[in-house]
Amino acid sequence: VNQILLLLLVLTVCAILYNKVHQVPLALRNETVDLESPEEMEEEIPVVICAAAGRMGAAVAAISSIYSNTEAKVLFYIVGLKTTIPHVRKWIENSKLKEIKYKVVEFNPMVLKGKIRQDASRPELLQPLNFVRFYLPLLIQKHEKVIYLDDDVIVQGDIQELYDTKLAPGHAAAFSDDCDLPSTHEMVRSVGMQNTYMGFLDYRKQAIRDLGISPSTCSFNPGVIVANMTEWKHQRITKQLEKWMQRNVEENLYSSTLGGGVATSPMLIVFHGKYSSINPMWHIRHLGWSPDARYSEQFLQEAKLLHWSGRYKPWDYPSVHTDLWENWFIPDPSGKFKLTRPDS
């Protein structure tokens, strides 16, 4: 009996030692291991949108469209002036957008002092928040890659696709060329939209001719930007943009030209030949350049991002394709922002 008990004890000890030596680590077994949830492993997508007085509903609609069409983790940087920030915060917290992750950033317009030339032709373009895109590294600290969007856009695709835009080595930003889609050419011609440097820069000025840029060079639209913050800071892009703003104050290089691109023109100069391309379906623009000209409904349904660039905004009247914009609009709980419609 003692021998049998001794044998059983030896066999038990051997079995324990075998299991310890040959035990498969938990993480290598053919079973799900929740070490870190996929949400925690995902990269956060920072999206910068301005919330300006009088058009705050635009920013809210843009945010609503992005949030509703992606499973990605998006961090919204909502940039405003001191006087407008309480309004947009209340709007978000009292609507279905209260679930979004966001930071409100105050933009100090004093950084623009002495850098903007007054232009009576389109005074709305001189609003301080139009220049937020020049100062992205000062507003966004911890991100390597950032998306900037004008407020008058609607995103119909997954913002992750736009964020995945590849930037070539040495490029601080990606934009959409104004000559990229043949399907937009008829629209451009019909509304007289400028899509070359001639429409934005005054080639009568020696400083512009000295750039050596052909006036027929295709322009790009900085209403949608995918930016690399490391390159932006390394190349001192903000300083370069400020230099051309100050030169324009002194020499009137672009403010009174046909394009009216007070914020666009310095970017065309600084980024000439040094930017990557965004998929053209991720920036269908010119929707605000005429109250009559329209794209086909099929084309608009396929578009990933719609931009009402121009004077005729979808929250005002007249404007086109307002139904596509209004799908994402969230009424202002305070009642301050109201849509302008023919029957209102």
Q: What pTM value is reported for the model?
A: 0.85
pLDDT, tens digit, for every residue of 295-325? 889 999 999 999 999 889 999 999 999 999 9
pLDDT at position 257 is 53
Q: In this structure, is residue 27 part of a structural domain?
A: no
Q: In this structure, is residue 173 part of a structural domain?
A: yes
Domain that holds residue 282: 45-180+221-234+275-327
Alpha-carbon span 308 to 289, nearest angstrom: 8
Q: Which two tokens mark 313?
A: 């905004």
Alpha-carbon span 313 to 80, nearest angstrom: 20
Which domain CATH number covers 109? Answer: 3.90.550.10
The count of structural domains within the chain is: 1
Q: In this structure, is residue 258 part of a structural domain?
A: no
On the 0-12 / 13-18 / 19+ scale of CB atoms within 10 A, 189 is exposed
344 residues of the chain, pLDDT tens digit each: 566 666 666 666 566 555 544 443 333 223 223 333 444 445 899 999 999 999 999 999 999 999 999 999 999 999 999 999 999 999 999 999 999 999 999 999 999 999 987 765 566 667 899 999 999 999 988 999 999 999 999 999 999 999 999 999 999 999 998 886 666 656 555 555 578 898 889 999 999 999 999 999 999 999 999 999 999 999 999 999 999 999 999 999 986 555 556 899 999 999 999 999 999 999 998 899 889 878 889 999 999 999 999 889 999 999 999 999 999 999 999 999 999 999 86
Q: In this structure, is residue 282 part of a structural domain?
A: yes
pLDDT, tens digit, for every residue of 35-53? 334 444 458 999 999 999 9
Alpha-carbon span 233 to 157, nearest angstrom: 30
Q: In this structure, is residue 149 part of a structural domain?
A: yes
Alpha-carbon span 2 to 188, nearest angstrom: 99
